[in-house]
């Protein structure tokens, strides 16, 4: 739409315009459709362009989009940032029948070397390879063996964000009286919530966590409902209030002071731990904040995961039936 109406010579070629269709005087048309196989079916195309291809369900591409090109011998163009390897975008990238182009950030004249070096210091190696080196990084959660079984005593914390804040996931493991941080992930800004949900569900099916504690503030309530629909019975929501934040941070601090919490070095997480500020409000409760321009999403994901470890072990329930002789 922006391309058509952003050029002076194009508007005169538009012969019809409604909410979801623009027709041009050369016989071509632009049709806006939702990413749903039920609404995409039935069209024929010479060229299909799929943006953010890593997030498009494989069934939509294989069963819906490819048949559109069958009679025209058309072209399928997939665009997007690399993510994991368990989707059609990655398999197409590795398929010799596809023509592949990889553009790394250092090849873009608009991105400076100083910016890239700063990002290497701020984000994880995985995120740097994916976002700036155009590498498909395998996202296997390191606490899992792929069987869906509990691998140790593992718990996940999820803090949600999208536009201004990040979505973050952290996994801790209880082992020999210690709580150990074994995995952390920060999703890029503007990552769709649907992708975050998909990632959590996939991680649970591979690893089988004892408990998943999810921030249910704001949009979190709706996301929790979707997670439950996906069958994750071990997922629970946690509201963020002044009192709950104080309790979670206090528990994490006590674990640290007792030497019962261990974590690998993460520059970004350490920065968020050190920058967190607190003050008492008029009601006498602690309130928390971070400096303008900084973030604390990884910190709260950690506190959620740590709090999840406080659950009591579920004992099996037995009933005794007395038999009469």
Helix (H/G/I), strand (E/B), else coil: 251: helix
User: What integer pLDDT is reported at residue 128 of this predicted model?
Assistant: 81
pLDDT for position 144: 43
- Residue 133 included in any domain: no
- For residue 256, what pLDDT is reported? 92
* Host H or E run for residue 70: helix 66-70
CA distance 145 to 100: 32
Q: Are residues 161 and 90 in the same domain?
A: no
For residue 261, the domain's CATH number is: 3.30.420.240
Q: Is residue 147 part of a domain?
A: no
Q: Are strands 75-78 and 153-159 parallel, antiparallel or unpaired?
A: unpaired
- pTM for this entry: 0.55
Say whether both 281 and 175 belong to one domain: yes
What is the distance between the alpha carbons of residues 195 and 166, in angstroms, rounded to a whole number? Answer: 13
Q: Do 302 and 245 contact (CB within 8 A), yes or no?
A: no
Planar angle of CA 7, 13, 18, nearest 5 degrees: 95
Q: How far apart are the first and last CA of the chain?
A: 83
Beta partners for 184? Answer: 170
* Cβ(241)–Cβ(217) below 8 Å: no
Picking from 94, 109, 130, the residue at the C-terminal end of a domain is 94
Indicate whether 47 belongs to any domain: yes
CB-neighbour burial class of residue 255 (10 A; exposed 0-12, middle 13-18, buried 19+): middle
If asked whether residues 80 and 157 sit together in one domain, one would say no
For residues 166 and 278, membership in a common domain is answered with: yes
**10 is a domain residue:** yes
What is the Cα–Cα distance from 196 to 166, expressed in whole angstroms? Answer: 11
Of 94, 111, 128, which residue constitutes the final position of a domain?
Answer: 94
Same domain assignment for residues 199 and 270 = yes
Q: Are 307 and 248 in contact (CB under 8 A)?
A: yes
Domain count, the chain: 2
Does residue 26 fall inside a structural domain? yes
* Residue 184 sits in the same domain as residue 296: yes
Blockwise average pLDDT, block size 10, the chain, 325 residues: 54 76 83 75 85 81 86 91 80 90 90 88 74 75 43 86 89 90 87 90 86 88 89 90 88 92 83 84 76 86 94 43 43
pLDDT at res. 322: 43
CB 47 within 8 A of CB 74: yes
Examine residue 247 and state whether it is found in any structural domain, yes or no: yes
DSSP for 121-183, please give it.
HHS-HHHHHHHHS--------TT--SSSS--SEEEEEEE--SSSS--EEEEEEEETTEEEEEE
Domain coverage including residue 286: 153-308
């Amino acid at each position: 739409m922006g391309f058509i109406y952003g050029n002076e010579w194009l508007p005169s070629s538009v012969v019809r315009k409604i909410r979801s269709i623009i027709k041009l005087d050369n016989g071509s048309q632009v049709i806006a459709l939702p990413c749903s196989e039920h609404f995409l079916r039935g069209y024929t195309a010479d060229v299909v362009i799929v943006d953010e291809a890593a997030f498009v369900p494989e069934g939509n591409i294989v069963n819906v989009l490819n048949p559109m090109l069958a009679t025209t011998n058309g072209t399928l163009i997939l665009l997007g940032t690399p993510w994991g390897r368990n989707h059609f975008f990655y398999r197409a990238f590795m398929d010799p029948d596809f023509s592949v182009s990889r553009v790394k950030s250092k090849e873009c004249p608009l991105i400076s070397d100083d910016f890239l070096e700063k990002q290497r210091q701020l984000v994880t190696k995985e995120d740097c390879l994916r976002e700036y080196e155009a590498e498909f990084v395998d996202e296997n959660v390191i606490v899992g063996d792929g069987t869906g079984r509990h691998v140790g005593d593992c718990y996940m914390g999820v803090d949600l964000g999208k536009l201004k804040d990040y979505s973050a996931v952290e996994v801790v493991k209880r082992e020999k009286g210690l709580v150990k941080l074994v995995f952390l992930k920060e999703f890029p800004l503007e990552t769709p919530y649907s992708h975050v949900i998909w990632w959590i569900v996939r991680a649970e099916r591979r690893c089988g966590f004892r408990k998943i504690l999810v921030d249910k503030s704001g949009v979190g309530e709706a996301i929790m409902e979707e997670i439950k629909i996906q069958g994750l019975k071990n997922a629970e929501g946690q509201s963020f209030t002044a009192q709950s934040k104080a309790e979670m941070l206090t528990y994490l601090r006590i674990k640290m002071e007792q030497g019962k919490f261990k974590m690998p070095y993460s520059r970004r997480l350490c920065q968020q731990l050190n920058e967190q500020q607190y003050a008492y409000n008029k009601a006498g409760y602690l309130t928390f904040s971070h400096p303008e321009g900084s973030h604390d999403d990884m910190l709260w994901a950690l506190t959620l995961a740590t709090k999840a470890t406080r659950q009591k072990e579920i004992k099996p329930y037995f009933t005794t039936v007395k038999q009469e002789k």
